[in-house]
Structure 1
Amino acid sequence: MDLIAALRTFLRVAEVGSFSAVAAERSVTQPAISRQVSALEEHFGTRLVQRSTHAVTLTEEGRDLVPAAQQLVDSADALQERTGRRRTKPVGRVRLSVPVPLGLFFSSNLNSLLKKHDELSIDLILHDRLRDLIEEGIDLQVCVGEVNDSALISRRIGATAAFLVGAPDYLKGRAAPKEPADLQLHDCIVYHRWGRDDVWWFAGPEGAVSASVRGRFRANNSDAVRRAALNGHGIALLSHLLVADDISAGRLRVLMPAFPPARFPLTVVYPSRRNLPPRVRTVIEHLSEIVQSDPAMRDDGEVRAVPHSEVSGPD
């Protein structure tokens, strides 16, 4: 028995006092309505209505059931309305895990998304390492590099862009590096997160070039690396989203322009494509749009896909 459907029928019978009237409203037979009420009586183990040839009246138990039945039906209607709304429009909270620089960029470009969808909310998690989506209840995560987890759905939304930089104070009295091998002679600020963090990749005239780096300062947060670079502690490899203003203001200098940092794919991952809620799909589309709105992060289709074990680049 469909309890909610039977309660709807019972409430309508209680209101009009007739099986046949309710049957006519619903284009079914009178016995079909009578069977629904009988099934409800059997379910509760008590008689709910008195039947006669002229009318149907409620018993005392039937009258007692009406308010509780109405509350249950109203709750079911509200739940169905809310669930139906969630199927057709972005409603609810999206937990989004994003690398720090991209997270700061995203938080500065949220206004249009939240204005357009007034029932959508964002829980932004800035990360310097990959998170466990299932264990931490994360809806979406943006990753740098190739994603090899077959349990996750992935979508490429752009690519990293970075600069190798140093502060004028650090470079004073030192020869600036001209090629990756020269980095062995410098203090490099190592951004420690995952993978080979002591190997940096660059795009050379003949292809990708790697350089092993060393330094006396390491950090697991990109903004901490930026601050250390600004204070002259060494050379850093950082996202353009973090250092573009510093470069324009002269606080940091771009190094090795003939060997720009390698670009890596930016990929959004999520647990399943099946029944993807509109709220999650909407955030994915917005992420893709704002990344593509920055020419430096557009993916030209030639960006090298590397596993996380090799990545030690910007995020």
Structure 2
Amino acid sequence: MDIVSALGTLVRVAGTGSFSAVSRERDISKAAVTRQIAFLERHFGVRLLHRRTRKLSLTEVGQMLIGLAKSVLEGIETIEAALRQQSASPVGLMRRGNMVAAGHFLAPRLPALLAGNPGLKVELVVKRPVW
């Protein structure tokens, strides 16, 4: 089972106070939510929730884990955002062969292109027309 997903489920269960609400939110069965919480309890060897007929509450260890889990989940979101941004930026060498007139058009625009895309290298080859 995926521990990161299970930690996210635990955080949401603590936030909503309900297994049913989390199952609706995540479009999974209530049993799947229960299995994820049980997985965490087995994995860490501790009880995380006090389950009563109409109320859930976190144990002391559960409260501590929620704080740590939120930090971990935020860190993962930061990593994913950084990698998405990195993969969205062009990287590599761009070669462009142009006529002299087109070179005059492109040359002033290159600094802005390169400043916005630090991983990009541009090589312009100016060709003279053959008449």
Judged with a 3 Å threshold, the aligned counterparts in structure 2 of structure 1 residues 64 and 116 are, in CA distance, closer, same or farther, namely closer
Q: Any stretches of 5+ residues in structure 1 without a counterpart? A: 95-108, 121-278, 297-315
**How far apart are 1:30 and its partner, in Å?**
0.6
Higher helix share: 2
Once the 2 structures are TM-superposed, how far is the Cα of residue 53 of structure 1 from its aligned partner? 2.1
Q: CA-to-partner distance for each residue in 1:225-255, whole Å, 9 max, x for gaps?
A: xxxxxxxxxxxxxxxxxxxxxxxxxxxxxxx
How far, CA to CA, are the matches of 1:83 and 1:9 in structure 2? 24
Amino acid at match of 1:46: V
| 1:74-89 correspondence runs (5 A) | 74-89=74-89
State the SS of the aligned residue for 1:90.
coil
Alignment partner, residue 127 of structure 2: 295
How far apart, in 2, do the equivalents of 1:112 and 1:76 lie? 32
Query: How much has 1:112 moved relative to structure 2?
Result: 3.6
Within 2, Cα distance between the matches of 1:75 and 1:9? 16
> Which runs of structure 1 show a deviation greater than 3 angstroms over 4 or more consecutive aligned residues?
none
| 1:128-148 CA-partner distances (Å, limit 9, x unpaired) | xxxxxxxxxxxxxxxxxxxxx
Partner of 1:9 in structure 2? 9
Paired residues, number: 112
Structure with bigger RCO (C-alpha 8 Å, 6+ apart): 1
Q: Deviations over 1:125-180 (max 9, x none)?
A: xxxxxxxxxxxxxxxxxxxxxxxxxxxxxxxxxxxxxxxxxxxxxxxxxxxxxxxx
TM-score (norm 2): 0.75
Greater strand share, structure number:
1
**CA distance in structure 2 between the partners assigned to 1:40 and 1:90 by the alignment:** 40
Gaps of 5+ in 2: 93-108
- What TM-score does the superposition give when structure 1 sets the normalisation length? 0.33
**How far, CA to CA, are the matches of 2:83 and 2:116 in structure 1?**
20
- Which protein is bigger by CA-based radius of gyration? 1
Aligned to 1:48: 48
Aligned alpha-carbon RMSD (Å): 2.1
- Rounded to whole Å, the distance in 2 between the matches of 1:12 and 1:88 is 30
- Letter of the structure 1 residue corresponding to residue 56 of structure 2: V
State the Cα distance separating 1:46 from its structure 2 match: 0.6
